[in-house]
């Protein structure tokens, strides 16, 4: 095929009509994907709420444990002090 | 963008998008699929359209990118298909299917398209927008986001490469 014939071939390509069903499919997909996006947003916001609750619970639990540890430490300290005082009294 | 505005955009540009996809992909099924994708994308990203370019330019850009994405994913599938033959049921690039070409010219156009497909991506896009879509240099440069000089150079390289592909024995 010569170059001229080759480029001439471009002229044999005609525009065609768009099949009618494409419009319906586009509208259908827009509606469907819109619904999906709403569902995803809904699920994501519930996910965020759940994550926040878990985090809050975790913080409360950590706080409780820390205060328990603090209490135990205080108890150990005070019994140690008692022991020291008793020892002191005994020696005196 | 309201529903009726979108309908208007569809009515005005659907033919352009469908025919561009047909020319680019040379397959009916793929062209229909990509045309749908393009308008779904147009609707989904309507908020991001800043109006810096014309709507037509914006839609051309989306259509070309979607065609290129499909070609890339098809070539990945084809590579995979060499290993797993199940993927070979889809039309291959060599399979020319275009309802806008009369039977008597089908072979000539198919040969031309086979050569055009072998051009680098950007040269192919510039050539198709010029020769098939009839866009001006200014319009092509807006669609491809390149200077007019770059588009001119892409077009001349595309023609040179086509000549070389046509006559591989010459210089």
pLDDT in tens, B42-81: 999 888 887 778 899 999 999 999 999 998 888 777 777 6
For tokens 């299917």, name the residue: B97
Task: Report whether pLDDT(B25) > 80.
Answer: yes
**Any idea of the CA torsion for B42, A16, B132, B11, to the nearest 10 degrees?**
-30
Task: Report whether pLDDT(B22) > 60.
Answer: yes
What pLDDT, on the 0 to 100 scale, is given for residue A92? 74
What pLDDT, on the 0 to 100 scale, is given for residue A4? 67
Which among B19, A65, B26 is positioned nearest to B38, based on CA atoms? B19
CA distance, residue A50 to nearest chain B CA (Å): 29
Indicate the pLDDT class of residue A1, thresholds 50, 70 and 90.
low
Summarize the confidence of residues B126-130 as an average pLDDT.
92
What pLDDT, on the 0 to 100 scale, is given for residue A13? 87
Q: Which of B23, B43, B99 sits opposite A30 (nearest CB)?
A: B43
| List of chain B residues whose C-beta atoms are within 8 Å of the C-beta of residue A2 | 166
Beta strand spans in chain B (E):
none
What pLDDT, on the 0 to 100 scale, is given for residue B94? 53
What pLDDT, on the 0 to 100 scale, is given for residue B91? 46
**To the nearest whole number, what is the mean pLDDT of chain B?**
86
For tokens 């916001």, name the residue: A45
Q: Do A16 and B18 touch (CB under 8 A)?
A: yes
Indicate the pLDDT class of residue B83, thresholds 50, 70 and 90.
low
Summarize the confidence of residues A37-54 as an average pLDDT.
84
pLDDT more than 70, % of chain A: 92
Interhelix angle B3-25/B28-44, nearest 10 degrees: 150
Interhelix angle B28-44/B55-81, nearest 10 degrees: 130
- Give the lowest-confidence range in A78-92, B80-94, B129-143: B80-94
| List of chain B residues whose C-beta atoms are within 8 Å of the C-beta of residue A19 | 18, 32
Summarize the confidence of residues B130-152 as an average pLDDT.
93
| List of chain A residues whose C-beta atoms are within 8 Å of the C-beta of residue B107 | none
Q: Which residue of A has its CA nearest to B104?
A: A12
Task: Report whether pLDDT(B170) > 70.
Answer: no
Give the Cα separation of B166 and B151 in Å (integer): 22
Residues 6+ apart with CB under 8 A from B19: A15, A16, B100
Task: Report whether pLDDT(A16) > 50.
Answer: yes
């Amino acid at each position: 095929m010569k170059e001229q014939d080759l480029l001439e071939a471009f002229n044999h390509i005609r525009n065609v009509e768009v099949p009618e069903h494409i419009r319906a499919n586009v509208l259908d997909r827009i509606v469907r994907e819109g619904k999906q996006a709403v569902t995803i947003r809904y699920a994501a916001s519930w996910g965020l709420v759940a994550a926040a609750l878990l985090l809050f619970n975790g913080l409360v639990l950590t706080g409780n444990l820390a205060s328990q540890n603090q209490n135990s430490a205080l108890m150990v300290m005070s019994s140690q002090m008692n022991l020291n005082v008793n020892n002191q009294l005994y020696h005196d | 963008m309201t529903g009726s505005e979108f309908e208007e955009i569809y009515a005005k540009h659907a033919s352009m998008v469908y025919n561009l996809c047909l020319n680019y992909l040379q397959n009916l099924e793929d062209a229909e699929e990509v045309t749908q994708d393009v308008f779904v994308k147009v609707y989904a990203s309507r908020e991001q359209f800043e109006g810096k370019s014309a709507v037509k330019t914006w839609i051309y850009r989306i259509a070309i990118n979607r065609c290129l994405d499909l070609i890339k994913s098809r070539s990945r599938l084809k590579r995979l298909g060499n290993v797993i033959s199940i993927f070979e049921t889809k039309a291959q690039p060599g399979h020319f299917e275009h309802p806008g070409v009369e039977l008597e010219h089908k072979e000539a156009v198919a040969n031309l398209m086979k050569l055009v497909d072998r051009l680098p991506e950007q040269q192919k896009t510039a050539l198709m927008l010029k020769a098939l879509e009839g866009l001006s240099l200014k319009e092509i440069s807006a669609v491809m986001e390149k200077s007019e000089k770059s588009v001119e150079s892409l077009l001349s390289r595309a023609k040179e490469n086509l000549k070389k592909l046509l006559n591989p024995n010459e210089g």
